[in-house]
Amino acid sequence: MRNAILGTVALVTLTLAASASAENVLVTVENNQPMGGFSFTPLWHGFHDGSFDAFDAGSAASAGLELIAELGDPSALDGEFAAAVPSGVSSVLFSPSGPPPFTPGQVNSALLNVGDATVNRYFSFAAMVIPSNDLFIGNDDPMGYEVFDAGGNFNGPLTIEVYGRDVWDAGTEVNDASDGPAFVVGQDGTLGTAEGGVVHAFFGSPGAADYLNSLNGIETPAYTVTDLLTEGELLATITITPEPTSFTGLALMGLLATRLRRR
């Protein structure tokens, strides 16, 4: 009887382990800013074979990246993703209040099936930083976040912390708080002066400090900005975990373990 129970425990253990390395993952996004801090738009993210390069520092932004950096619209970037990696899987994670941005303190999660985990091993993301003309967060290394190994086994949980120093400037629109920043009361986000520059790190670039100071007191549709982002300040946390193990499986493990202790 003991051998039978041990066999059942082993079977359940293997089943739960398989579940932990399955293609279903839970993606969680949190805005870590204090009240009055910065926000970001719904997070576009994709799982791919490592060949999708959303942008390169020092090069001009694609049309898709420009649209998400200036307006928070992920549709064109998603189209570029689908064309570059037809086998890839992408999605947009909205804030808990719906399409509006992730405001300070908000967190939300969504399950996603990545398809073939031996192929779609890598993770990319992008979202607009609010308020701004064309600031965004994202990864310029397409293989920077390896979620699955070559055998399709889950490498994780994976936690991505995005700090102020990780914010990018798309170089597509002049940074001017009075000229076309999106998600700002009294401004038309579709306007703004074209810059014709390249993607570069925002902090440390000429005029970055003055631009930040000009955003103090800006009114967004949700709140007034009173806390300015700094290089070392945490803006967002992205966590990727396996699909949560079912309560039934955990309960069965507990029951079997109890029976073993009593024998």
**E strand map for the chain:** 24-31, 39-40, 43-48, 89-93, 107-113, 122-130, 135-138, 158-163, 168-169, 200-201, 234-242
Name the pLDDT band for 57 (thresholds 50, 70, 90). Answer: very high
pLDDT at 239 over 80: yes
- pLDDT on residue 100: 84
Mean pLDDT in residue range 55-72: 98
Q: Same structural domain for residues 258 and 141?
A: no
- DSSP states along 56-122: -TTSPPPHHHHHHHHH---HHHHHHHHHH-TT-EEEEE-BTTBSS-B-TT-EEEEEEE-S-TTT--E
pLDDT at 113 over 70: yes
Please tell me what DSSP assigns to residue 136.
Answer: E
Q: Same structural domain for residues 199 and 261?
A: no
Distance CA 52, CA 65 (A): 13
pLDDT at 45 over 60: yes
pLDDT at 44 over 90: yes
Amino acid at 69: A
Q: Same structural domain for residues 63 and 151?
A: yes
Q: List the CATH number of the domain containing 115.
A: 2.60.40.2130
Cβ–Cβ under 8 Å, residues 134 and 127: no
Q: Which of 243, 245, 256 is nearest to 24 (CA)?
A: 243
Mean pLDDT in residue range 85-108: 94
- pLDDT on residue 126: 98
Q: Same structural domain for residues 257 and 203?
A: no
Mean pLDDT in residue range 76-102: 95
Name the pLDDT band for 260 (thresholds 50, 70, 90). Answer: very low
Total structural domains within the chain: 2
Sequence length of the chain is 263
Which residues partner with 148 through β-bridges? 154
Residue of higher predicted confidence among 115 and 100:
115
The burial class, CB within 10 Å (0-12 / 13-18 / 19+), for 72 is buried
Name the pLDDT band for 258 (thresholds 50, 70, 90). Answer: very low
Range of the domain at 1: 1-22+245-263
Q: Same structural domain for residues 29 and 99?
A: yes
Q: Same structural domain for residues 181 and 192?
A: yes
Report the percentage of the chain scoring pLDDT > 90: 81
Cβ–Cβ under 8 Å, residues 131 and 142: no
Cβ–Cβ under 8 Å, residues 142 and 163: no
Which has the minimum average pLDDT: 25-34, 114-123, 231-240, 254-263? 254-263
Q: Same structural domain for residues 164 and 182?
A: yes
Q: What is the pLDDT of residues 136-186, one digit of tens each?
A: 999 999 999 999 999 999 998 999 999 999 999 999 999 999 999 999 999
Q: Same structural domain for residues 257 and 231?
A: no
Residue of higher predicted confidence among 189 and 255:
189
Q: What is the pLDDT of residues 193-214, one digit of tens each?
A: 999 999 999 998 999 999 999 9
Residue of higher predicted confidence among 114 and 257:
114
Q: Same structural domain for residues 16 and 119?
A: no
Distance CA 53, CA 242 (A): 25
Q: Same structural domain for residues 190 and 258?
A: no
- pLDDT on residue 244: 67
What mean pLDDT is reported for the chain?
Answer: 87
Q: Same structural domain for residues 120 and 162?
A: yes
Q: Same structural domain for residues 228 and 256?
A: no
